[in-house]
Structure 1
Amino acid sequence: MAAQLREFDIVIVGGGMVGAALAVALALAGRNVAVVEARLPDAWQVDEDYDLRVSAINRASQNLLSRLGVWPGIVSRRANPYRRMVVWDARSTGEIAFDAVELGEPDLGHIVENRVIQHALLERLAQLDGVQLFAPQSVETLEIGPQTAQLTLSDGTRLGARLVVGADGARSRVCELAGMRRSVRKYGQTALVATVATDASHADTAWQRFLPTGPLAFLPLGDGRSSIVWSATTAQAERLLGLDDDAFRAELSRAFDLRLGCVTACSERAAFALIGGQAYPYVQPRVALIGDAAHSIHPLAGQGVNLGFMDAAELAGVLAATGRDPGALAVLRRYERARRGENEAVMRLMESFRVLFGSGLPMLPWLRGRGMRLVGGLTPVKRQVMLHALGTAGQRPELATTPLDQTR
């Protein structure tokens, strides 16, 4: 006997950072929402070590999380502001530094563990009426009808909704079951992550060096250590993972040009393949994709989760502004038109940087160095670059803005 159908306005598949943010926004707007999540995060304790996966949360994303009532829960756990960014090229004299003081801002963003963000979002969801979490559960079937969509979960639970949102990552089950196409770009790179201590203080600065094999970033944590993201060729990453701790620390120190002195301690290391892609389309009747389910990009500028949060803010705003059926294609296309162009532009820009700094053409190091020095010396251009990094340049979803942002 089939399980009874449980009906909601909207079902969000994926309760990670982006999916949970959308759920909070929709619940605050009075929607009846179900969230399906395959794996809940491990419990978080204040005295445990930093998680290996962190995100650089820009001001636009902070605005969104603040307006959703989530930012206090993040800060009460741990989040470290970074006030400067320094970027330099390993094969030229090019270097550029950005400082929040130049914008009259307290910081340029915050480094936050992904698990901290997800915990704070799930905590906020538990405070709201109109949201039900189904976890740990996965989606087995998806049937899309003219008026509703129906899902069957791994335990046999049946859910019905006028709109299903896929926020379930780059290997989205919703995208697959809905028959939506996705391009895949294999970068031939692997990102190695770890937490490290160094001789010198990180000075609340996000550091990034462009190496021939990929960028190496040191992101400042609140206890004085740094979270590293080392994007390398797959072969190099495998070799680095196989080194003993002393050899790895020595090679990491050299790769980072001893900018913070020697690496004196290192946590366990982990690695994940870097793959980009875009879904085509983002929407169809009764279905919308957000975050990595819709697009995934190279992490060299740390923009992935920020783009996902902007997707959530835009879709929530579109649905709040209409009294029409939330699963109607005409409604969902407003969201896609607002987000696809920016997401594709950022993806191609990140790919261009990767090629520019990874190319072995003889003249390129000189041109890169000259270009970085030129941008650093042109105050209006440098200011615009910083505003884009801060997430306050150009048009943003209303939920991700403040009155001050709108005057810039």
Structure 2
Amino acid sequence: MKKNHDITVVGAGPVGAAAALGLARKGFSVALVDARPLQAPVDPAETLDLRVFAVSRASQRLLTDLGAWDHIAGVRASPYRHMSVWDAHGRVEFDAADVAEPDLGHIIENRVIQAALHERLRDSSVDCFTPERVERVSLEPDGAILSLAGAGRLRSRLVVAADGGQSPLREMAGIGVRPVDHEQMALVAHITSEKPHDETARQRFLETGPLALLPLADGRCSIVWSTTPAEAERLKGLAPEAFGRELTLASDGVLGELMPDTEVVAFPLCSRQAERYIDQRLVLVGDAAHTVHPLAGLGMNLGLKDVAELLSVMGRAVERGNDPGERAVLRRYERARAPDNRFMLHTLDGINRLFRSDAPGMDLLRGWGMRLFDHSGPIKREVIRRAMG
């Protein structure tokens, strides 16, 4: 494989893999570096991955353009046609039929998305350096040099950092982050339910945080239960039957009796926003640039929106004969994505805090607002369209 490229992407998760494929389709010579080997295709009979995402229509379009959607749909993807959001005082219902769409999105495992993109990478012009680790990066005015642990040096005109929330490349470049500690932990598991999920995504706001029940292709649900660290530790320590009883109660019994069907995994919740998205010959995408609260399942979609914008910016650079690593080119991407991601971070944090607030009368005000929005007609339909992308 050659060692000089137009663009090197570091990180082969769904966002990085999508970026590498898209940039190669734009005509750039692309290298992809990741510490793990490319993922093997997923057997439909395999156990479902615990990490799932609510994939929007906009993300589906990008995955279709990259040739990955048919692979994903051929393994498993669970459409959700309805969404129900409620707390003790109000409820909002969303339905795909309200906007004349077949569904609102799909619940898909991280592993399935990644495997489909990696399958496309194997058939592409992208040079994949996997497994391989970046030891140093040198960002110079005329290009970037990545020093790899085993393959020597890679030179390129631009480096795309898609190496996750703890991004080593971001740290090497000296780009700081602004954290938002939600003072919560999330519990994740797959569960069985007494009643069918009816292709409905559900989210109940509790005093300690939101509980999401997401429909899976095999009839089970995935849960993301955000709560206080102390409560998360207590719940995680319960026997499966006791955890199921607590979960059934927390969900208002909307799916009847619930029972965990996998281990229950806990992780802390902290949103981050990079202080800047670009540096000399470097651009951040996905979790390397931002992470948000999981209450709306937007993390993957925001990352793929980064990719779509980067591809648009790079496409214009090709048409104009610009160097893809020029700061003026990268600034166009940063101006488009940083404000949107910053807005989503603070909006989701605000919603989380609003529903946890115990200020006098706040519960009744929330209920009134939810009922008003649920009957808002055109406003609600526009929100659905925007959420779908």
Give the shorter-chain TM-score range.
over 0.9
Q: Which structure 2 segments of 5+ residues have no match?
A: none
Query: Does 2:181 correspond to 1:186?
Result: yes
- Tell me the distance in 1 between the aligned counterparts of 2:163 and 2:116: 19
- Tell me the distance in 2 between the aligned counterparts of 1:249 and 1:42: 33
Query: Does 2:136 correspond to 1:141?
Result: yes
Normalising by structure 1, what TM-score?
0.92
- Could you say what secondary structure the match of 1:74 adopts? helix
Query: Does 2:222 correspond to 1:227?
Result: yes
Which residue identity is paired with 2:254?
A: R
- Could you say what secondary structure the match of 1:247 adopts? helix
1:401 matched residue in structure 2 = none
Following superposition, the deviation at residue 5 of structure 1 comes to 8.4
2:378 matched residue in structure 1 = 380
Following superposition, the deviation at residue 31 of structure 1 comes to 1.0
Following superposition, the deviation at residue 73 of structure 1 comes to 0.8
The two structures, once aligned, show a CA RMSD in angstroms of: 1.3
Query: Does 2:18 correspond to 1:21?
Result: yes
- Tell me the distance in 1 between the aligned counterparts of 2:3 and 2:83: 49
Q: Is the 8 A contact 1:8 1:162 kept in 2?
A: yes
2:342 matched residue in structure 1 = 344
Normalising by structure 2, what TM-score?
0.97
1:103 matched residue in structure 2 = 99
2:208 matched residue in structure 1 = 213
Q: Is the 8 A contact 2:212 2:225 kept in 1?
A: yes
Which residue identity is paired with 1:334?
A: R
2:298 matched residue in structure 1 = 303
- Tell me the distance in 1 between the aligned counterparts of 2:304 and 2:246: 35
1:177 matched residue in structure 2 = 172
1:12 matched residue in structure 2 = 9
**Deviation by residue 1:300-322 (Cα, 9 ceiling, x = unmatched):** 00111101001001111111111
- Tell me the distance in 1 between the aligned counterparts of 2:372 and 2:228: 30
- Could you say what secondary structure the match of 2:189 adopts? strand
Where do residues 42-81 of structure 1 align in structure 2 (5 Å cutoff)?
A: 43=40, 44-81=42-79
**Deviation by residue 1:352-371 (Cα, 9 ceiling, x = unmatched):** 10110011112111000000
Where do residues 281-292 of structure 1 align in structure 2 (5 Å cutoff)?
A: 281-292=276-287
Which residue identity is paired with 1:55?
A: F
Q: 122, 125, 138: which one pairs with 2:118?
A: 122
Following superposition, the deviation at residue 265 of structure 1 comes to 4.6
**Deviation by residue 1:232-274 (Cα, 9 ceiling, x = unmatched):** 1111111111111111111111111101000145211112211
Following superposition, the deviation at residue 390 of structure 1 comes to 1.0
Following superposition, the deviation at residue 39 of structure 1 comes to 2.5
1:404 matched residue in structure 2 = none
1:157 matched residue in structure 2 = 152
Task: Name which of structure 1's ranges 58-67 and 232-241 shifts more when overlaid on structure 2.
Answer: 232-241
Which residue identity is paired with 2:129?
A: F
- Could you say what secondary structure the match of 2:24 adopts? helix
Which residue identity is paired with 2:345?
A: M
Following superposition, the deviation at residue 40 of structure 1 comes to 4.1
Which residue identity is paired with 2:380?
A: K
Which residue identity is paired with 1:240?
A: L
- Tell me the distance in 2 between the aligned counterparts of 1:345 and 1:361: 24
Following superposition, the deviation at residue 64 of structure 1 comes to 0.7
Which residue identity is paired with 1:253?
A: T
Q: Is the 8 A contact 2:39 2:115 kept in 1?
A: no
How many percent identity over aligned positions?
Answer: 50
- Could you say what secondary structure the match of 2:3 adopts? strand
- Could you say what secondary structure the match of 1:371 adopts? helix
Q: Which structure 1 segments of 5+ residues have no match?
A: 392-408
**Deviation by residue 1:270-298 (Cα, 9 ceiling, x = unmatched):** 12211111112101220000001001110
2:30 matched residue in structure 1 = 33
Following superposition, the deviation at residue 340 of structure 1 comes to 1.0
Q: Is the 8 A contact 1:249 1:266 kept in 2?
A: no
- Tell me the distance in 1 between the aligned counterparts of 2:2 and 2:202: 51
Which residue identity is paired with 1:33?
A: V
Q: Is the 8 A contact 1:83 1:99 kept in 2?
A: yes
Where do residues 197-346 of structure 1 align in structure 2 (5 Å cutoff)?
A: 197-322=192-317, 323-346=321-344
Following superposition, the deviation at residue 103 of structure 1 comes to 0.3
- Could you say what secondary structure the match of 1:349 adopts? helix
- Could you say what secondary structure the match of 2:303 adopts? helix
2:358 matched residue in structure 1 = 360
Which residue identity is paired with 1:7?
A: N
- Tell me the distance in 1 between the aligned counterparts of 2:271 and 2:5: 32
- Tell me the distance in 2 between the aligned counterparts of 1:81 and 1:5: 41
Q: Paired residues, what number?
A: 385
